[in-house]
Structure 1
Amino acid sequence: MDSTATASLASLWDEVSGTQPDPDLWVVIATLVAALAVVIPHGLWRVSRNAITIAHEGGHGLVALLSGRTLTGIRLHSDTSGLTVSRGKPYGIGMILTAASGYTAPPLLGLGGAALLGAGRITLLLWLATALLLAMLVMIRNAYGALTMIVTGGLFVLVSWLAGPQVQAAFAYVVVWFLLIGGVRPAFELQAKRARGGAGDSDADQLSRLTHVPAALWFFLFHAVSLCSLIGGGAGCWTCDRPA
């Protein structure tokens, strides 16, 4: 590798790993309002929930790989449901962690994103998210899922490569707020659906069968993770390195 290429790579790494200044307070408030606007109204939530499904199924897939299982495919459906299929023992800690990672993935990703924002690593956040989306695209096994991933990943690529610092910051804050706020709603929706006699094979039910722990306690875990992530990540987004 010649010196010019080495210098270019070093410059790119400095750009990605370097810190960026915090956005103005009005940007933080505006992005919070924008996230609330696509999570609270039912009509918009039916569309925006697709992004939470990506994080949910991506969490299943990533933990399956990390726990030694073989990930065979991920499907995303137009009704915002999804399915992640992996091979391995149908019991044990790997299966338990894989099943538990779906509802906890979006809020934990939001919490991690808030930590990066707090450290001023806006560009790094966007590049990591883009890399995860591209890696997940390889495992998608249906047309709707592939289209969803291409549109979402393409948006991250465009913002990461072409947008200016202020646009990147606003986009990153919207994404993190959305994961933190949107990560709370699905577990409550699932619990309400089960109360009406539906979703008998939900993640909580699978975990109950795997561990012999009541599904209600798994719901408690989902709620605890999402609400604690919202509180911790929200505080980080609101106060990150901002002068008093």
Structure 2
Amino acid sequence: MILGYLVLASVTVFIDEILHYYKRSSKLLSFFSSIIQLSYTLVHEFSHAITTVLTRGKVLEMKLHYNLSGHVRSSSNNWFSRVLVTYSGYTLPCLISIFFFNLMYLENFQWIIISYMIMSFISLIFIRNLYGFCWIIGFIGLLGWILYFNNPIIITHTAIFLSSILLISAVYSGFRILLFTFKFPGEDNDATSLSKNTWIPAKIWSFLFLIQSVLTGIISALIFL
């Protein structure tokens, strides 16, 4: 069942590329794909925000956008905190993905839904744009409805699907930031931000993100072997 959901998650993440390959277009499919994939953007931006809070910094704003981009503006007390906050954006989603696959292995599906609820409520404190606010409210409402009715089948399938989206997106993000860093070296992203703060080239940071994303996929697979 998990393999089937990983395939479905892959189709969801790459739906625009698939439609383009077959010279097709579907605004409806692209719309629903973006709605679902924002669950990864949420985890990514939440990672920046929670790391800021844990390092005694201040989160000024969080935004989630229709095009799957997100943004967290924060202030940190020192150089190490700034580096840690930036690095967490790709690292924590990988760790959370592994954690969720462990929960699935232990059949604690409900705790995956609860974890998403916790991340959503915390993010709601910092969200500052209308689209992001509406999406999080809708996401909380959907997950709350699922938990309220407590149907084991719905909880199980929802948890597996969301965990699969997170894993596929986390792995793909490692490849994507490496590609962007080489293709658009001047573009602002986490790798270039880390480069500015550490004087380590952005390409090295992007390679590190790629390695940890690949390891995330391998470890997640090994959990079920």
Tell me, which stretches of 5 or more residues in structure 2 are unaligned? Answer: 18-29
- For residues 186 and 142 of structure 2, the distance between their equivalents in structure 1, rounded to whole angstroms, comes to 32
Q: Percent of aligned positions with the same letter in both sequences? A: 25
Shift of 1:107: 2.3
Question: Bigger relative contact order, structure 1 or 2, given CA contacts below 8 A and separation 6+?
Answer: 1
What is the match of residue 21 of structure 2?
A: none
Q: How many residue pairs align between the two structures?
A: 211
Q: Say what the alpha-carbon RMSD is for the aligned residues.
A: 2.0
State whether structure 2 residue 10 is matched by structure 1 residue 36.
yes
Shift of 1:48: 3.8
State whether structure 2 residue 118 is matched by structure 1 residue 131.
yes
State whether structure 2 residue 171 is matched by structure 1 residue 197.
no
Alignment of 1:149-228 (within 5 A): 149-197=136-184, 200-228=187-215
- For residues 72 and 136 of structure 1, the distance between their equivalents in structure 2, rounded to whole angstroms, comes to 12
Q: Which moved more, 1:40-49 or 1:137-146?
A: 40-49
Look up the equivalent residue of 1:41 and give its one-letter code. Answer: I
Question: Paired residue for 2:54, among 58, 66, 69?
Answer: 66
Check the 8 A contact 1:190/1:199 in 2, yes or no. no
Shift of 1:69: 0.7
Normalised by the length of structure 1, the TM-score is 0.79
Shift of 1:179: 0.8
State whether structure 2 residue 218 is matched by structure 1 residue 231.
yes
Shift of 1:199: 5.6
Shift of 1:49: 3.3
- For residues 35 and 109 of structure 2, the distance between their equivalents in structure 1, rounded to whole angstroms, comes to 26
- For residues 222 and 158 of structure 2, the distance between their equivalents in structure 1, rounded to whole angstroms, comes to 18
Look up the equivalent residue of 1:181 and give its one-letter code. Answer: I
- For residues 171 and 46 of structure 1, the distance between their equivalents in structure 2, rounded to whole angstroms, comes to 17
Normalised by the length of structure 2, the TM-score is 0.85
Shift of 1:104: 2.1
Q: Which moved more, 1:138-147 or 1:217-226?
A: 217-226
Shift of 1:174: 1.1
Tell me, which stretches of 5 or more residues in structure 1 are unaligned? Answer: 1-26, 240-244
Structure ranking higher in helix proportion = 2
Shift of 1:78: 2.0
Look up the equivalent residue of 2:151 and give its one-letter code. Answer: G
Shift of 1:189: 2.5
